[in-house]
Structure formats: structure tokens, C-alpha cells
Amino acid sequence: MAGKPKLHYFNGRGRMESIRWLLAAAGVEFEEKFIETPEDWDKLRNDGCLMFQQVPMVEMDGMKLVQTRAILNYIATKYNLYGKDIKERALIDMYTEGMADLNEMIIVLPLCPPDQKDAKIALIKERTTDRYLPVFEKVSGLVSALGHWTWKQGKIVPDWHSLGIDLHSQ
């Protein structure tokens, strides 16, 4: 029997988090190998197992998978979580690409110059509440899949703290 998938990433949510969620949704146990030091990072890059010298990387089924979307597509296809036909798959792609756009805004926030940070946080909040969450509110069945949101009085409420956004810094 094949071993558990091994996830290589930093000790944080980042781009690996959606992969963790998807494996959990598929009921697949996995191991994590965190990159904790510059030496860990150098070793992984110099081993030649990262196609583009980037993580996330997932070892599974004899492959060293990189590129978040490629990894998600592989897992979703393997565990039959990618729609019953191409129309359902297109719909799934539309929802997940929307979430990926929002996620990308949040992931790059720590790299933002300090003088632009408040404006970026304000934009993330505006896009979250005005653009993305209304779409997911229409399909409340999907809400349980969104770890950082809670459902209050018929509305999705973001958990800003768990998203890494400190409201008190405003």
C-alpha cells in the first residue's frame, strides 16, 4: 500500500492550506515536513526535487508534485471531488479560482511595504465582503468548506484574526 502523502511547506497556512483541506475532505491522512530553517530550505532546493524551486511540494504516488493548482487538481480528480462532468468541473474551477484570487491578496500582505499596508488591508476587506463572500452566501452548502469564516444570522462573517489580519492595527 502506498504511504501517506508528504507535504513540504513552511509551518504556516499559505499556499499549502487548501491542499490540507482537500486531503482532509477526501479523508486522506498526510504527513508534514516543515521548512524551519534556511538550511532546510537550501537542502530542499538543492535536492533537485522542486521543479521551479518553489513550494508547496507534495510527495504522493511516486511523484513530487508542485504548483498548487496542479496538486489540487490531481487530488480532486483522484478522490472523485472534481465534479461529475465538465460543466460541474467548470463551476468548481470558477469558485476555487475566485478563492485563489482572494487568498493571493492575503498571502502577499506580509511582503507589502509598511506605508501601503493599511490600504491593502482595506482593499482585502472590501473585496472579501463585497465581491467574494456574497457569491458563497448563495451556495451555503459550500460554507462548511471555508475554514476561516463563520455563519452568523444568514451571513458569512470572516474571521479576520485567523486570516492573519489584525483589526486593531487599523
Ligand X SMILES: N[C@@H](CCC(=O)N[C@@H](CS)C(=O)NCC(=O)O)C(=O)O
Please give the residue ranges that form the binding site for ligand X (CB under 6 A). 14-15, 53-56, 67-68
| In the complex, minimum distance from the CB of residue 14 to ligand X, in angstroms, rounded to a whole number | 5
Kindly state the smallest distance separating residue 129's Cβ from ligand X, in Å. Answer: 25
Which triple of cell numbers denotes residue 55? 513550494
How far apart CA 74 and CA 17 sit, in angstroms, is 16
Query: Which segments within the chain are labelled E, that is strand?
Result: 6-10, 31-35, 57-60, 63-66, 149-152, 155-158
Question: What is the distance between the alpha carbons of residues 61 and 130, in angstroms, rounded to a whole number?
Answer: 41
90 CB-contact burial (10 Å; exposed 0-12 / middle 13-18 / buried 19+): exposed
Of the two residues 68 and 128, which places its CB atom closer to ligand X in the complex?
68
Nearer to ligand X, 14 or 83 (CB): 14
Smallest separation (angstroms) from ligand X to the CB of 37: 15
CB of residue 68 to ligand X, shortest distance in Å? 3
Closest distance to ligand X from the beta carbon of 23 (Å): 16
Asked if residue 167 lies in contact with residue 160, where contact means CB atoms within 8 angstroms, the answer is yes
Closer Cβ to ligand X, 22 or 156, answer by number: 22
Grid cell digits, residue 13: 497556512
Q: Which is nearer to ligand X, 106 or 124 (CB)?
A: 106
Looking at beta carbons only, is 55 or 156 nearer to ligand X? 55
User: 7 forms bridges with which residues in the sheet?
Assistant: 32, 58
